[in-house]
Amino acid sequence: MSVVTLRVNGQEVAVPAGASLLEAARAAGVELPTLCHLEGLTPVGACRLCLVAPEAGGRLLPACATEAAEGMAIRTDTEELQRYRRMAVELFFAEGNHVCAFCVANGDCELQDVAVAVGMDHSRFPYRYPHRHVDASHPQFALDHHRCILCTRCVRVCDEIEGAHVWDVAMRGSQCTIIAGLDEPWGDVEACTSCGKCVDVCPTGALFRKEDTTAEKHPHAERAELLRRAREQHQWSNQ
Amino acid sequence: MTRTVLIDPVTRIEGHAKITLHLDEGGHLVDARFHVVEYRGFEKFCEGRPFTEMAGITARICGICPVSHLLAAAKTGDKLLAVAIPPAAARLRRLLNLAQLTQSHALSFFHLSSPDFLLGWESDPAKRNVFGLMAADPDLARAGIRLRQFGQQVLELLGGRKIHSAWAVPGGVRTPLSAEAKAWILDRLPEARATVRLALDLYKRLLDGPLQREQRVFGDFPSLFLGLVGEGGRWEHIDGTIRVRASDGTIVADGLSEDDYHTFLGEAVEPWSYLKFPYYRPLGYPDGMYRVGPLARLNVCDAIGTPWADAELADLRARSGQVATSSFAYHHARLVEIVACLEAIEELVNDPELMTGRVRSRASLNRNEAVGVSEAPRGTLFHHYRVDDDGLIQKVNLIIATGQNNLAMNRTVAQIAREYITEPVGPDATIPEPLLNRVEAGIRCFDPCLSCSTHAAGQMPLRLELRAADGSLVAERCRG
């Protein structure tokens, strides 16, 4: 296995060729905040929380979606990066309708966790209070668009792990939204196997079990990686 | 020229309000009004939300009595699921409400109202509060605060937090009571009982002495009383059926179901207040004025069902009548209810059913419309939801205790003002503060929670307006 060597915050690390900058940072003992990234799913670099700065200058790079290269040198903790990360989280809160007080995910929410991690105590941006809706047409689950941050974990887990591809992304800009099937009520989409993987990996309270009340959602984001590895390594078969 | 005297904000209540005293051209008092000046809009913004969130959302209406909304919402949720909750869950919910009544009544009596009785109506307003009470009688203040803390701690032992727990859910509750929590409650009960004994002895001495006039003029008038009663007409706070009793003791209606509330309750609105004016529909508006809350619960019930509380109820009735009509008796009723709560808590924690079996029934949505009811510290609370087939809220109606006392609160304020403003008030005259305080205290009898009733942050500060006959503001006095 070939190896690439690079520097993270001045510290030399060696990672397998093909590893991401996020993996390199972790190898150097640096934890970067992430929201869209999830082990087991293809990285998309949507949330911009894991941005890192090349020491050579130039544009900032999403660590989850950038391959580590030989001789690279990156910094993960500059003042600029910290400012941008906090700004990105503030924009998530300002963009949707996130009311932790009665959210199903309160206390077990990755958006809450990163807000704490980046030191956000309020949003400097005016809240948009967009008009969104709740799709509760599925018999077991519901999607509350108010709480969706468009991380697309649901889209990827349904496509890459379950193979049903119920979810997709429609529209652009502020109208951008997750859709089920051909923009149908979730309960009408025959492709849905009701496996619940999308609920398990959703980082906020956007996807939840209908019986869950305030603070009762306990996601299992680790299942995506568990299933991918099990499938690749044939852990559950005789082959 | 007529004037209006403005008391804005009203202090030591929960929420924001003002009182206006209307004077005619001769300076005589012609009317007094209690205005609620905050608006919250919960009924509207709950639309579109899953009904399973309603307990969590509506508990946020109030920091004093979130439990009342939590229970009413959970009970409405039970009906939408069409399930019977497990027996242990029913008992645990009762325990929660008893703790809630205890802590809220302790707050009303010790923190908010007792400074008037114990420090005096004429005392310095800057010190006429719980801090003044601490300075004047630290032992009593400490005991009162610890009594409230007892109730709050029971809420935390059950729901995981003192305020805004979401522990009661459609179908039951989330977790059982632990053995440690049960032991803690039993350990602290004797101190709580001693405190309410102390408060009752003190308060009765005041009733026999300096508070005699207040009992007579603080909202003493005939009205209907409405509240839940249990089996055999016993005092009830969460289950049971609705009874309406008139001042002469007649039971006007009995065995009413909350499901039919729209047949016997109407809601009027007035342009000068955000607080609605519910009335007993068969008598129309405003003749259908009724009172709810601790005094109403004691007036509608036949007995409480525990020995000390029944003895105190008999004493209250001996002093204030078989049906107590003075709003001032709300204070006494609160203390009697604390006794009833402490006795009921002791019975419940020793009930073997409390600690056994399931605490939550699971089901999907089975009905599209339901009404839930609970007795909040301030009175009967109705939650009415209509949901679509996916369980999303289409319509919400919340009928809050304080709203139901609105007509009576206005009448109380007017009666007190008439009693104490007997001379014409000249155009340049000011109204002395102790008088304003008595007018405010008329409102405090009801321990109103305006944050709930207008579906606030902060305390209730007081504004008094003096208005001319044409409605223009001549003078105002603010404090708080």
Q: Give the contacts of B73 (CB within 8 A, at least 6 positions apart).
A: B54, B55, B57, B58, B59, B168, B372, B383
Between CA A20 and CA B416 the distance in angstroms is 77
Residue A182 touches chain B, beta carbons under 8 Å? no
Q: Chain B partners of A210 at a C-beta cutoff of 8 Å?
A: 50, 52, 364, 391
pLDDT at A24: 97
Q: Is the residue at A221 inside a domain?
A: yes
Q: What is the pLDDT of residue B419?
A: 86
Whether A191 has a pLDDT exceeding 80, the answer reads yes
Residues contacting B134, CB < 8 A, separation 6+: B141, B142
Whether residues A143 and A181 share a domain: the answer is: yes
Q: Would you say residue A136 lies in a domain?
A: yes
Q: How many domains does chain A have?
A: 2
Strand B251-256 with B241-245, pairing: antiparallel
The answer to whether A129 contacts chain B (CB < 8 Å) is no
The confidence score (pLDDT) of residue B374 equals 96
A chain contacts of residue B47, beta-carbon cutoff 8 Å: none
Choose the mutation target among A104, A141, A207, A214 for the interface with B, i.e. most B CBs under 10 Å.
A214
Together in a domain, A104 and A8: no
- A98 and A189 in a single domain? The answer is yes
C-alpha angle B84/A103/B402, rounded to 5°? 65
Angle of helix B307-320 relative to helix B329-349, nearest 10 degrees, comes to 170
Which residues does chain A have within 8 Å of residue B163's beta carbon, measured at their own beta carbons? none
For the beta sheet containing A11-16, the strands, ordered from the edge strand earlier in sequence to the opposite edge, are A11-16, A3-8, A73-75, A51-54, A61-62
Q: Which of B44, B49, B53, B167 to mutate to test the interface with A (most CBs of A within 10 A)?
A: B53
Q: What pLDDT sits at residue B15?
A: 64
A114 and A198 together in one domain? yes
Residue A35 lies in a domain: yes
Token pair listed for B34:
């209690």
Asked if residue A168 and residue A149 are part of one domain, the reply reads: yes
Nearest to B50 among A101, A142, A187 (CB): A142
**What pLDDT score does B450 carry?**
60
How confident is the model at residue B434, as a pLDDT?
78
Q: Residues A91, A191: one domain?
A: yes
Reported ipTM: the value is 0.91
Q: Which residues pair with B243 in a beta bridge?
A: B227
**Domain finish residue from A59, A77, A95:** A77
- What is the per-residue pLDDT for B451? 52
Q: Report how far residue B422's alpha carbon sits from residue B236's, in angstroms, rounded to the nearest whole number.
A: 41
At residue B155, the pLDDT reads 95
Q: Give the model confidence (pLDDT) of A65-82 as tens digits.
A: 999 999 999 999 999 999
Pair of tokens at residue B138: 């630290």
Closest-CA residue of B relative to A143 is: B50
- Give me the residue label for tokens 């206390």: A107
Query: Within an 8 Å CB–CB cutoff, is residue A211 touching chain B?
Result: yes
Q: Are residues A220 and A195 in the same domain?
A: yes
Residue B270 C-alpha, separation from nearest chain A C-alpha, in angstroms? 31
Q: Is residue A238 part of a domain?
A: no
- CATH number of the domain bearing residue A41: 3.10.20.740
A145 shares a domain with A205: yes
A chain contacts of residue B174, beta-carbon cutoff 8 Å:
216
Q: Tell whether A239 is covered by a domain.
A: no
A141 min Cα distance to partner chain B (Å): 10
Determine, for residues B50 and A211 on separate chains, whether the beta-carbon distance falls below 8 Å. Answer: no
> How distant is the Cα of B400 from the closest Cα of chain A, in angstroms?
21
Q: Are A114 and A219 in the same domain?
A: yes
**Per-residue pLDDT tens for A210-234?**
999 999 999 999 999 999 999 998 8
Could you tell me the CATH number of the domain that includes residue A161?
3.30.70.20
- The interaxial angle of helices B179-208 and B138-159, nearest 10 deg, is 140
Q: Can you give the pLDDT at residue B274?
A: 78
Q: What would the pLDDT profile of A148-176 be if each residue is shown by its tens digit? A: 999 999 999 999 999 999 999 999 998 99
Choose the closest CB to A213 out of B48, B166, B390: B166
**Structural domain includes residue A105:** yes
Residue-by-residue pLDDT tens, chain B, 480 positions: 677 777 777 766 666 778 888 888 888 888 888 887 666 778 888 999 999 999 999 988 877 778 999 999 999 999 999 999 999 999 999 999 999 999 999 999 998 888 888 888 888 878 888 888 888 899 999 999 999 999 999 999 999 888 888 899 999 999 999 999 999 999 999 999 999 999 999 999 999 988 888 888 899 999 999 999 999 999 999 999 999 999 999 999 999 999 999 999 999 988 888 788 899 999 999 999 999 999 999 999 999 999 999 999 999 999 999 999 999 999 999 999 999 999 999 999 999 989 888 999 999 999 999 999 999 999 999 999 999 999 999 999 989 888 899 899 989 988 888 888 877 777 777 777 777 788 888 888 888 766 554 433 233 445 656 665 666 665 665 644
Q: Give how far B449 is from chain A: nearest CA, Å.
A: 21
Secondary element (H or E) of residue A62: strand A61-62
- Nearest-Cα distance to chain B for A195, in Å, is 18
Q: Among A22, A53, A77, which residue terminates a domain? A: A77
pLDDT score at B456: 30
A19 and A72 belong to one structural domain: yes
pLDDT digits (tens, 9 = 90+) for A104-136: 999 999 999 999 999 998 899 999 999 999 999
Nearest CA to CA, how far is B38 from chain A (Å)? Answer: 21
pLDDT at B478: 60
User: Which chain A residue shows the shortest CA-CA distance from B59?
Assistant: A102
Contacts of B362 in chain A (CB under 8 A): 211
Q: Chain B: give the shortest CA distance to residue A215, in Å.
A: 8
Residues A126, A220, single domain; the answer is yes
CA-nearest of B389, B344, B370 to B74 is B370
Rounded distance between C-alpha atoms, residue B122 and residue B131, angstroms: 17
A134 in contact with B, Cβ within 8 Å: yes
- pLDDT at position B480: 45
DSSP calls for B53-85: GHHHHHHTT-SSSHHHHHHHHHHHHHHHHT-PP
Which residues of B are less than 8 Å from A133 in CB distance?
Answer: 48
Say if residue A151 is exposed, middle or buried (CB neighbours under 10 Å; 0-12, 13-18, 19+). Answer: buried
> Of A41, A61, A77, which one is at a domain's C-terminal end?
A77
Burial class (CB in 10 A: 0-12, 13-18, 19+), B368: middle
Answer whether A210 sits within 8 Å of B362, measured CB to CB.
no
A213 near B CB under 8 A: yes
| A133 reaches B (C-beta below 8 A) | yes
Query: Confidence class of residue A239 from pLDDT cuts 50, 70 and 90?
Result: low
CB-based contact B56 A102, cutoff 8 Å: yes
A-chain residue closest to B51, CA distance: A213
Q: How far apart are CA B438 and CA B258, in angstroms?
A: 36
Distance, in angstroms, between B68 CA and closest chain A CA? 16
Torsion of CA B35, B39, B43, B46, to 10 degrees: -160
Taking an 8 Å cut-off on Cβ atoms, the answer to whether A214 and B56 are in contact is yes
Residues A207, A92: one domain?
yes
Domain containing residue A10: 3-77
Averaged over A139-147, what is the pLDDT?
Answer: 98
Half-sphere exposure (Cβ direction) of A168: Cα atoms closer than 13 Å? 12
